[in-house]
A = this chain, B = another copy of it.
Amino acid sequence: MRIGELAARTGTSRRLLRYYEEQGLIVATRAANGYREYDDRFVDRVKQIRGLLDAGLPTRIIKQILPCLDKPRTIYFPDATPEMLATLERERDRMTERIEFLTRNRDAINEYLDVVRANRQPDVELEPAV
């Protein structure tokens, strides 16, 4: 597929797909006319990128993380340098922190919503038709 379809199927803009490529997150093949060409796997990959970006990770980090998330797990131990592994561990820990933090706060919001709804219920019922 070409860039327009990928954009539609991932809910991104063409501009961003080019940007992700520029940042080295995806590498499109090129047709003879210069058009970028993508296969289906890019759909998930782009969604993954969007999710990680939304979670607050910068492209620089995403670039390092992505190769480890490939589903067919082809490369077990690539040229993973010790620094690379250290980065991964550090990033994993930061993600764990984020998860815990988000969970705590989401639960607090939930609790708040519950309380508000409980206290609001009474005034929903007005005089029940005497």
Contacts and interface: CB of A to CB of B under 8 A. Distances in A.
A99 B106 contact: yes
Interface string A52-95: 10111000000001001100010011001000010011011001
B105 A65 contact: yes
A12 interface: no
Name the prevailing secondary structure of the A interface residues. helix
Interface residues of A, number: 36
Contacts of A88: 109, 112-113
B110 A80 contact: no
B68 A98 contact: no
A19 to B, nearest CB: 18
Given A56-B54, A69-B108, A99 B92 contact: no
Contacts of A54: 56, 98, 101
Contacts of A76: 115-116, 119
A120 B110 CA distance: 44
Interface of A: 48, 51-52, 54-56, 65, 68-69, 73, 76-77, 80, 85, 88-89, 91-92, 95-96, 98-99, 101-103, 105-106, 108-110, 112-113, 115-116, 119-120
